[in-house]
């Protein structure tokens, strides 16, 4: 039996989440609903502006894959994470916050420079907008990938955000190659419409001859496949992945287990913050299928988890809720 169910590699970021107004976004020329890469000066400028405009500010270790492995760990999966942080206050905070959730971290991950940060701005329609300073993540190399631990894992999970530069794309490609050579299942999230639109060639390098499981939302699926509806996109995704899940927000999700394409209805909830919904979905889904359950049940389980996370502020739910969801589905 392998030691870890999930080995995740992604951009290690300290997330600062804040509630803002649409006027704040327009005043500061921020593209709503997207992830935008910014330099440290721009992020500092926005953080300074937020001090007088925002409320309910929350700080946590983050990044897409980080959020997913944290969710899976809190449900009960044994997880491992590789990412690059600096030897600074934010880097130490990241590692401590991550390990407090039960996720193991690659000890070679700290270095010089500045730890990356993501400013997550949430408006009253629950839409999340991200401005990301990658910092030390730009120095991510294969040295941060613990290949013996990867080989001792059931799944490799990567985020599309890794492909925004060639160096980290190469890290992702090498990790995929190592996984495939050692019978480790491969999974990838397309992450963001921005990533799909601008860095599709790099995504295709990572996907290679196909991954075992692909996660995306309907916008990403349609953009990636150049189709106009989710069902057509699903048909095209079969060329790139053995199985996949397309999340549809309040509309639930569409899952393909290699044989059947199943639409799973969404869970009615009052959404206040969509940040982390896709990450939570992926973590819950991976937990469920690792526990031996079907994609159909995994989708129901993950829809419930995602509905819980969007109904409150921040990318995580209370520790008791993880157990409540497991009891609800007897998982």
Quote the number of domains for the chain.
1
Q: What is the pLDDT of residue 178?
A: 97
Q: What is the pLDDT of residue 52?
A: 72
Residues 17 and 249: their CA atoms lie apart, in Å, by: 20
Q: How confident is the model at residue 107 (pLDDT cuts 50, 70, 90)?
A: low
Q: How confident is the model at residue 313 (pLDDT cuts 50, 70, 90)?
A: confident
The residue-averaged pLDDT of 66-79 equals 98
Tell me the pLDDT of the chain averaged across its residues: 93
Q: Is the pLDDT of residue 54 over 70?
A: no
Tens of pLDDT, residue by residue over 171-212, are 999 999 999 999 999 999 999 999 999 999 999 999 999 999
What distance lies between CA 242 and its chain's CA centroid?
Answer: 20
Which of these ranges, 96-110, 186-200, 211-225, 280-294, has the smallest mean pLDDT? 96-110
Q: Is the pLDDT of residue 108 over 70?
A: no
The CATH code of the domain that includes 238 is: 3.40.1190.20
Tell me which residue range forms the domain holding 224.
4-329
Q: Is the pLDDT of residue 144 over 90?
A: no
């Amino acid at each position: 039996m392998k030691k870890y169910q999930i080995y995740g590699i992604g951009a290690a970021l300290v997330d600062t989440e804040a509630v803002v107004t649409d006027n704040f976004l327009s005043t500061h020329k921020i593209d709503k609903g997207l992830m935008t890469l910014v330099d440290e000066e721009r992020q500092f400028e926005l953080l300074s502006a937020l001090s007088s405009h925002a409320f309910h500010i929350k700080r946590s270790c983050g990044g897409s894959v980080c959020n997913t492995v944290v969710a899976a760990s809190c449900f009960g999966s044994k997880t491992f994470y590789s990412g690059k942080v600096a030897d600074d206050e934010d880097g130490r905070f990241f590692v401590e916050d991550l390990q407090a959730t039960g996720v193991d971290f690659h000890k070679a991950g700290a270095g010089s420079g500045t730890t990356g940060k993501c400013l997550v701005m949430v408006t009253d329609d629950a839409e999340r907008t991200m401005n990301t300073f990658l910092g030390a993540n730009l120095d991510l190399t294969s040295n941060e990938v613990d290949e013996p631990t990867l080989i001792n894992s059931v799944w490799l999970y990567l985020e599309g955000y890794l492909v925004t530069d060639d160096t980290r794309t190469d890290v992702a490609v090498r990790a995929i190659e190592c996984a495939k050579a050692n019978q480790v299942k491969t999974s990838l999230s397309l992450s963001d419409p921005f990533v799909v639109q601008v860095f599709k060639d790099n995504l295709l390098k990572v996907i290679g001859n196909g991954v075992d499981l692909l996660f995306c939302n309907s916008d990403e699926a349609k953009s990636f496949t150049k189709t106009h509806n989710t069902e057509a996109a699903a048909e095209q995704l079969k060329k790139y992945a053995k199985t996949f899940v397309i999340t549809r927000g309040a509309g639930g999700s569409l899952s393909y287990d290699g044989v059947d394409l199943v639409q799973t209805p969404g869970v009615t909830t009052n959404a206040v913050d969509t940040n982390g919904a896709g990450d939570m979905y992926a973590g819950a889904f991976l937990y469920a299928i690792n526990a031996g359950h079907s994609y159909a049940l995994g989708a129901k389980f993950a829809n419930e988890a995602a509905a819980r996370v969007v109904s409150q502020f921040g990318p995580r739910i209370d520790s008791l809720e993880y157990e409540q969801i497991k009891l609800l589905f007897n998982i």
